[in-house]
Chains A and B, each alone.
Chain A
Amino acid sequence: MAENQDKILEEVTGSDYKYGFTTDIETEVIPKGLNEDVVRLISQKKNEPEWMLEYRLKAFNHWLKMEQPEWAKLNIPKIDFQDIIYYAAPKQKPQLDSMDDVDPELKATFEKLGIPLDEQKVLAGVAVDAVMDSVSVKTTFKETLAEKGIIFCSFSEAVQEYPDLIKKYMGSVVNYTDNFFAALNNAVFSDGSFVYIPKGVRCPIELSTYFRINATNTGQFERTLIVADDDSYVSYLEGCTAPQRDENQLHAAIVEIVTMERAEVKYSTVQNWYPGDKEGKGGIYNFVTKRALCKGDYSKVMWTQVETGSAITWKYPSCVLMGDHSVGEFYSVAVTNNYQQADTGTKMIHLGKNTRSLIVSKGVSAGKSQNSYRGLVRVNKKAENARNFSQCDSLLMGDQCGAHTFPYLEINNNTAKVEHEATTSKIGEDQIFYCNTRGLSTEDAVGLIVNGYVKEVINQLPMEFAVEAQKLLQISLEGSVG
């Protein structure tokens, strides 16, 4: 059996990354390195107003004083921030009046990724903002959404068109002083998506941003800001891939969500950045700050993430439960294989009365990977009757990987009720044999068992995404037996 397992693990680790191709397109890049001039240059490229540049410079100067954090259970090779290109844009006509104006090469790239940019071809019910390297290529269904007063556009466009909203909400959840990577993002961010859902509007279609890194030696620093006004609802999806390259590439993003009274935002991610090769060479370093502020009473934010890619993942989508009766939920599947490392989890900060949070985290580790759950539940003094339930499960495949759980609880109000459950298990040989005797190959059996194990989380994803996520899990883990 042991020999067989090795063979299967070998096959799994050998399975190819489907999105490793590069697009041959003329790209405008600025020189490597980071200094005040680079920040100014990016701002200038984007034709930004003075206040935006000032904001960037404040962040940059703060970043200079900060050190890269080392508390995570990650082995992060030294990142040379002067060896990164901070702005790369596919060259195309500046004004896009219709789909015909999008460079055919770009269109082809996104089609290959399963993201058609022609509205006729788009999956029914999903609007897409496609971001390649540092710029947004195309946002679909903008006009349809505008009829309901919904704003869905690239971040650069929002800075120009809706400066008041941006000034009001940008940095209101994740301040530029928040952490090292957030400060960096604030200084050099290039694009991303902006969403505003007006009062009482239920967004009729799923909104989605698709991030693609293409250019070499380039970092991607995008930011997303979602504001859901009173009684509104939106479901938002995020997908990401990158070409297969030998060098590591940095992705440091910020996502901010603000929900007002009774508003609800559902944010789903299927993260499939290039994870590096079998020997651990290459792959994306993914350092992302995602946070939601449940500002209004009875508001709700739900994070769902399926993390299969990246060489290193450092990511803690969090909820600040400020409004009374507000609710934060976090559902996560993190899969690591080969030499991947993930340190991921959430923070639930209970400030308002009767706030509730739920954490369901499922880690799957295979190969020589390390997979950590890190989560904080904080109940502040005035947060009467706060409730939290956390469940953290780890599944191990093989005997060379690691799974770790770091739950932090800070409870300052004795009416709080906080529960934490954690399990660690291995895929049972008896489960696999049972499937074998029913005619399922070991690969299929493992896929089935893992999909069963993560079902609670996958069920939270919108339909099309759930199917994609299941396929992705099957590919990344086919047959890793423990």
Chain B
Amino acid sequence: MLEVKNLHAKIDDKEILRGINLTVKPGEVHAIMGPNGSGKSTLSSVLAGSEVFDVSEGSATFYGKNLLDMPAEDRAREGLFYSFQYPVEIPGVSMVNFMRTAVNEHRKYNGEKPYTASEFLKLMREKKKLVEIDSNLTNRSVNEGFSGGEKKKNEIFQMAMLQPKVSILDETDSGLDIDALRIVANGVNKLKSENNATVVITHYQRLLDYIVPDFVHVLYKGRIVMSAGKELALELEEKGYDWIKKQFED
């Protein structure tokens, strides 16, 4: 479903991604790990459609369509979800209104009728329950005044609402205490099916105790230098990133 080949991306002539290859199939969970500055967040925002970076080489396809040609909103409507490391506040815009617009834009794109208010509210109630989000969060403005944990829960709630095919979760565990981490991870697990896939980007093995990956990739200096099963995460936890750095020093 998601096929990334030899992807290069730069910002201000500084090359950050230097040939990424990644294949994600339905039902899979991938973890991308790596030290600070290895390009993890760049990879996810390039895939999500950020125009901050220039893609200089390579390709990314999503169900056979050229992802890199699409504006960010079309990538989302095609079923790609990007959970922000730092979710953005939009004062004065209620979550309900925001999500209703988003969901109906998805439906319009797919040739479906927009939800009526009552259909939408019903859907929202179900999803809120599923991801254990407080009902008052959805009455507030988008992320405004939310705690770190609330923001991350809110990302997962949006993921539940939009029902994506591939979700890229960027450092979803950062800034979460252990209880919030469990709720967020539970949400992700409940949304998992054989038809969708998840790409988890993280520093630490901790999150992977809750969201168990099928594949672990190590990103270093803009390349995936190692891929293996979930045991790789444990090995990294034990040996640290220095182990990788030593092996792949330029």
B145 to chain A, nearest CB (A): 14
Chain B interface residue count: which class?
20 to 34
Q: Of B49, B90, B92, which contacts A436 at CB under 8 A?
A: B49
A409 to chain B, nearest CB (A): 27
Total contacts A-B at CB 8 Å: 78
A452/B48 contact (C-beta < 8 A), A436-B72, A438-B162, A444-B101 known? no
A456/B92 contact (C-beta < 8 A), A1-B52, A436-B76, A439-B77 known? yes
| A448/B93 in contact, CB under 8 A | yes
Confirm or deny: B63 has a beta carbon within 8 angstroms of a beta carbon on chain A: no
A443 to chain B, nearest CB (A): 10
Confirm or deny: A19 has a beta carbon within 8 angstroms of a beta carbon on chain B: no
Question: B7-28: which residues lie under 8 A (CB-CB) from chain A?
Answer: none
| B90/A431 in contact, CB under 8 A | yes
- Which residues of B lie under 8 Å from residue A433 when comparing CB positions? 49-50, 72, 88
- Which residues of B lie under 8 Å from residue A453 when comparing CB positions? 91-92
| A4/B51 in contact, CB under 8 A | yes
Docked complex Cα distance between A401 and B73 (Å):
28
| A449/B93 in contact, CB under 8 A | yes
CB nearest to A430 among chain B residues: B88
Confirm or deny: A123 has a beta carbon within 8 angstroms of a beta carbon on chain B: no
Chain A interface residue count: which class?
20 to 34
| Contact mask for chain B residues 58-87; partner A; CB cutoff 8 A; 1 contact, 0 none | 000000000000011101110001101001
Confirm or deny: A441 has a beta carbon within 8 angstroms of a beta carbon on chain B: yes
A436 to chain B, nearest CB (A): 4
Docked complex Cα distance between A448 and B101 (Å):
9
| Contact mask for chain B residues 99-128; partner A; CB cutoff 8 A; 1 contact, 0 none | 101100110010000000000000000000
B70 to chain A, nearest CB (A): 11
| A436/B93 in contact, CB under 8 A | no
- Which residues of A lie under 8 Å from residue B162 when comparing CB positions? 438-439
- Which residues of A lie under 8 Å from residue B76 when comparing CB positions? 436-439
- Which residues of A lie under 8 Å from residue B84 when comparing CB positions? 434, 437
| B101/A440 in contact, CB under 8 A | yes
Confirm or deny: A428 has a beta carbon within 8 angstroms of a beta carbon on chain B: yes
Subset of 19 A-B contacts with CB under 8 Å: A1-B52, A434-B87, A434-B88, A436-B71, A436-B72, A436-B76, A437-B73, A438-B98, A438-B99, A440-B73, A440-B101, A440-B102, A440-B105, A441-B71, A442-B73, A448-B90, A452-B91, A453-B92, A456-B92
18 new A-B contacts at CB < 8 Å, known A436-B73, A436-B76, A455-B92: A428-B88, A431-B88, A433-B50, A434-B84, A434-B90, A438-B98, A438-B162, A439-B102, A439-B162, A440-B73, A440-B101, A440-B102, A442-B73, A448-B90, A449-B93, A451-B92, A451-B93, A452-B93
